[in-house]
Chains A and B, each alone.
Chain A
Amino acid sequence: MAAKKVFGSAEASNLVTELRRSFDDGVTRGYEWRVTQLKKLMIICDNHEPEIVAALRDDLGKPELESSVYEVSLLRNSIKLALKQLKNWMAPEKAKTSLTTFPASAEIVSEPLGVVLVISAWNYPFLLSIDPVIGAISAGNAVVLKPSELAPASSALLTKLLEQYLDPSAVRVVEGAVTETSALLEQKWDKIFYTGSSKIGRVIMAAAAKHLTPVVLELGGKSPVVVDSDTDLKVTVRRIIVGKWGCNNGQACISPDYILTTKEYAPKLIDAMKLELEKFYGKNPIESKDMSRIVNSNHFDRLSKLLDEKEVSDKIVYGGEKDRENLKIAPTILLDVPLDSLIMSEEIFGPLLPILTLNNLEESFDVIRSRPKPLAAYLFTHNKKLKERFAATVSAGGIVVNDIAVHLALHTLPFGGVGESGMGAYHGKFSFDAFSHKKAVLYRSLFGDSAVRYPPYSRGKLRLLKALVDSNIFDLFKVLLGLA
């Protein structure tokens, strides 16, 4: 068995040099190359789904349906869209010119940034690796992918599949942990796309700053769910449940983190949740095969600590069972934990759902606004005014009304954070744009030059300039005809 190869600064530097040479040689620029790579990615989705499902089961205990839908199907759609739209996306966009620059024509040309780095996360290891890579390739870049070491089976499978199918002169995978990531971050990239925690997001951006490398940071936060009494309770509860425990058991960046509702409505909400939870996961949810497990013992201990905190452990109204050996924690609902408890201070990223009650629903806006901006904010209501106020005044990466998480699947909406939840966006054409430089191109004629532009400067020239700048054609003629 070969010893694991060292990947340090020298290897990282060589890797970038090699990919840059490929990029400079034009390997990745052509439409054909991009389409070929995308089609190969499609083959991976079509032919290797069982292996992907198996790797996700190993790494996360992810149920087959979640793997198939949230990792493979979403990717397949992403590839399909890129294949269908790539010609459009690559085409220059015409821009309007003004009287000042007349005669001229202008356009905006999308060009690849060069050699880009995609750093992925462990919770949706295939989706969060390949979806950004789809964007990078569509835009014509060479790309290095660094999958998360916390999902080792997925990381190994990604490496195997990408090496097997994609063009190694321009697309590479580097496996590893802190050492390898640090070595990669020392290099000069033309873009870095990172999915992960706010803490590491800062480290990534600081490293990028050394080279003036632009970044997309897809981070997280505590995504709140506001539940109004004027809603369809059963549908609301079902969507919250499947959005929380049905998406990697709460370990997702847009997972409903906590619920805000009125004191009056909370009991109804909790009862409905208990009922539906049992329907979905049986009388002993901790044993259900339809939920992912906790990823590893570190996270298990972290979540345990959140539950065990004084003033929190006595607020459990449902669940709370733990099984460290199998890395399982039952779907757990808590009622009115203190606002300054640990569980309300960090992104939970697990199967615990605090419900906070308020005297009236309006207060929820202030609660949300007093906290860092989350990746998503959810509201369940029939009330049109409430929906409008929520959308207008709650700042988050994205807002979803009357559903959970589905906006992830919509390629026509930009997916990204704001403030602590990140910067930049992707999905659909936004992915293509994220990995492109939009180059402004102005075509001028050598005719039609105005002495006005040049020294020596005079009052007449100044008047003419003023008219040109205002682009008021009547003033312009007045000056030209000496009438002003």
Chain B
Amino acid sequence: MEGMKETVEESLREMRETFASGRTRSLKWRKAQIGAIYEMVKDNEDKICSALFQDLGKHSTEAFRDELGVVLRSATVAINSLDKWAVPKHSNLPLLFYPAKGKVISEPYGTVLVLSSWNFPISLSLDPLIGAIAAGNTVLLKSSELSPNASAFLAKTIPAYLDTKAIKVIEGGPDVATILLQHQWDKIFFTGSPKIGRIVMAAAAQHLTPVTLELGGKCPTIVDHHTISKNIKSVVKRIAGGKWGSCSGQACISVDYVLIEKSYASSLIDMLKPTIKSFFGENPKESGCLSKIATKQHVQRLSRLLNDPRVQASIVHGGSIDEEKLYVEPTILLDPPLDSEIMNEEIFGPILPIITVRDIQESIGIIKTKPKPLAIYAFTNDENLKTRILSETSSGSVTFNDVMIQYMCDALPFGGVGESGIGRYHGKYSFDCFSHEKAIMEGSLGMDLEARYPPWNNFKLTFIRLAFREAYFKLILLMLGLKR
């Protein structure tokens, strides 16, 4: 570990030196780096898909949709928008301060740390990297050891495409993360669990380092059957896609559980079953379209969640597990107890609890008993219900009549609240995430007001009071001696 500590310190030293040299401030440099990320992904599509297949059994289409496509788009948007993003924002100043000028410029923090995750190891590494570079920082990326092939790809290929004195990759697990967190960074961007998020923030506190924490939670999906029954086929497909179609439920914005009125639950289940079959065939394990579970430990965790006898009793579809093959069958539960473990921690796997309520309005109450999630999904055309959901619940985001797709909308900030995280990114928000908004005010030496200076007297006090009130007319009267 001594060797690792030295590597980290040497990397930090070099990145700080590079930042101090001013090289990363140039928009041209930033666009070139981001362009290089684009090229890297385009040139290595097959390698990347292969790595993701090895790590997670991800099908190349899923890999493209969720990872490569995201990065390509993110890079394109950044390159096309950077000039606009970097323009200073001018502020209007009150008349009192005329002819002073004010503006806000976005300035890079300096040397930043990105800690990525294993479930989308390419996009959760490169997307924040793009933001950090766009904002003009030097950056160190630590990829997750639980996706070793993707991590190795990044560690090997990034140096071949990007400016190695400014952008670095370190591989490793918790021990490497610990060493990294002992050092001072100008910003830390972390994607992962709330438990580790706390550790990251506590470490950051020692250096007053600002953090963005992209965490998780139980993303509920409300199905208001009354108002969407005409489109129920679409609804079912979207829910199924949101649970099993992206890394087998191991996504921070996966559909975690469904809430539906009791009388409609069985018809929902009856539609979900054939949908699963249409996605993955008779034997999902062999379909090639269902991602694997990350590791044996993760399979064991999911197994444990299912082992609760009350949860076992609620299985209405699936339930089989093959630890060797890192496989958990797409599973549906009907009304597992609300106090079971599976209903109190983020599932992060292909198990879908369906929780029934008497009246769909009750789903809001259930959601509020749990920590604020990253996303809330609701299939409904009832405007009242929509309003209630928006005003009575809190989450990173709310999506009506779809799932997960808010991720693709780069005009929307992507981030959590409460247990689901701090800060946000995507699109311009990525640029802002890695920037310090520096206020600049320029006064004039020409216009000076005596009233600003001691010794104080009543005239000056009155003058300043009126000036602050922007009571300009009264101010003039005062100066003309017409006001006491």
Binding site for B on A (CB under 8 A): 24, 29, 63-65, 68-69, 73-74, 76-77, 95-98, 100-101, 104, 106, 108-109, 111, 113-114, 190, 198, 201-202, 205-206, 208-210, 212, 214, 217, 219, 231-232, 235-236, 238-239, 241-242, 246, 280-282, 288, 290, 369, 380, 382, 387, 391-393, 395-403, 406-407, 409-410, 412-415, 418-420, 422-425, 437-447, 449, 453-458, 461-462, 465-466, 469-471
Contact = CB atoms under 8 A, between A and B. Distances in A.
Contact of A406 (B97, B289, B398): B97
19 contacts: A64-B456, A73-B465, A104-B405, A106-B406, A190-B418, A212-B418, A212-B422, A217-B208, A232-B446, A288-B454, A395-B110, A400-B443, A406-B441, A412-B91, A440-B414, A442-B409, A446-B235, A447-B234, A471-B73
A63 B456 contact: yes
Interface stretch (B7-15, B28-36, B196-204): B196-204
A446 B227 CA distance: 12
B228 A446 contact: yes
Contacts of A422: 208
B160 interface: no
B109 interface: yes
B394 A111 contact: yes
A403 B20 CA distance: 28
Residue of B72, B92, B107 most packed against chain A (CB within 10 A): B107
A466 B228 contact: no
A430 B215 CA distance: 25
Contact of A457 (B73, B109, B289, B413): B289
A62 to B, nearest CB: 12
Contacts of A235: 445, 448
A115 B236 CA distance: 38
A455 B238 CA distance: 11
A68 B100 CA distance: 24
Given A111-B394, A465-B69, A423 B208 contact: yes
Given A206-B206, A208-B201, A440-B396, A380 B445 contact: yes
Contacts of A246: 453-454
Interface of B: 20, 22, 25, 59-62, 64-65, 69-70, 72-73, 76, 91-94, 97, 100, 102, 104-105, 107, 109-110, 186, 194, 197-198, 201-202, 204-206, 208, 210, 213, 215, 228, 231, 234-235, 237-238, 240-241, 244-245, 278-281, 287, 289-290, 368, 379, 390-391, 394-402, 405-406, 408-414, 417-419, 421-424, 436-446, 448, 452-456, 460-461, 464-465, 468-469
Contacts of B194: 212
Given A106-B409, A418-B438, 12 more contacts: A73-B468, A76-B468, A108-B412, A111-B394, A114-B394, A210-B198, A407-B439, A424-B210, A443-B401, A444-B401, A445-B401, A454-B279
A106 B411 contact: yes
Residue of B231, B395, B402 most packed against chain A (CB within 10 A): B402
A418 B198 contact: no
Contacts of A29: 391
B438 A397 contact: yes
Contacts of B107: 395
B468 A280 contact: no
B409 A401 contact: no
